[in-house]
Amino acid sequence: MLNNIISPDKGEIFFDGKELNQFNPIDLRRKVVMLPQTPVIYKGSILENILIGKIFSKSYDYNLEEIQSLLEKFNLNKDLNAPAENLSGGEKQRICLIRVLIMNPEVILLDEPTSALDENTEDTVINYVVDYIKKNNKTLIMVTHSKEIAKNIQTILLK
């Protein structure tokens, strides 16, 4: 509901001091970006899949070194020109998370963002995302069924 994909049956939801229905839904979704559990990958290269978020957010500038750095941080040793359709589920999930991060939204909504990742990669990704949220004064709302991930996030936030 926070990014206005669905509307409440009753009651009000406020964001940034204004009721959601006062926002243009597309403008709101540029500020409040959701990453669903099942990643959406488009035909094209890994780089094109990452940059589609920048196009949606109407922020066409990007830093190729930053994207390459995020690939490395997320344990994705991939050629940016490689076809994204050939990636594994966990790789697709990380590509979509990079897409969200370079959009630089105010709020990031994550639905089981590490469900297709092994434990070590999961820790790396979660640590990076929470650190990013803290350093950039962003808001993170995340759904997880993992008590371990929830505890790790709490520990990182309290540092």
Question: What's the CATH code of the domain at 125?
Answer: 3.40.50.300
For residue 148, the model assigns a pLDDT of 82
9 part of a folded domain: no
Q: 69-99: b or e for each residue (b if 16 or more CB lie within 10 Å)?
A: ebbeebebebebeeebeebeebbbbbbbbbb
113 part of a folded domain: yes
Average pLDDT per block of 10 residues along the chain, 159 residues long: 89 93 92 92 96 87 92 95 95 96 95 89 91 94 86 77
107 part of a folded domain: yes
CB 130, CB 144: distance < 8 Å: no
69 part of a folded domain: yes
Q: Which amino acid is at 106?
A: E
6 part of a folded domain: no
For residue 65, the model assigns a pLDDT of 93
**Total domains present in the chain:** 1
8 part of a folded domain: no
**Whether the predicted model's global pTM rises above the 0.85 cut:** yes
Half-sphere exposure of 4 (CA within 13 A, CB side): 18
116 part of a folded domain: yes
> What is the rounded CA–CA span in Å between residue 29 and residue 2?
9
7 part of a folded domain: no
Q: Domain residues for 44?
A: 14-157
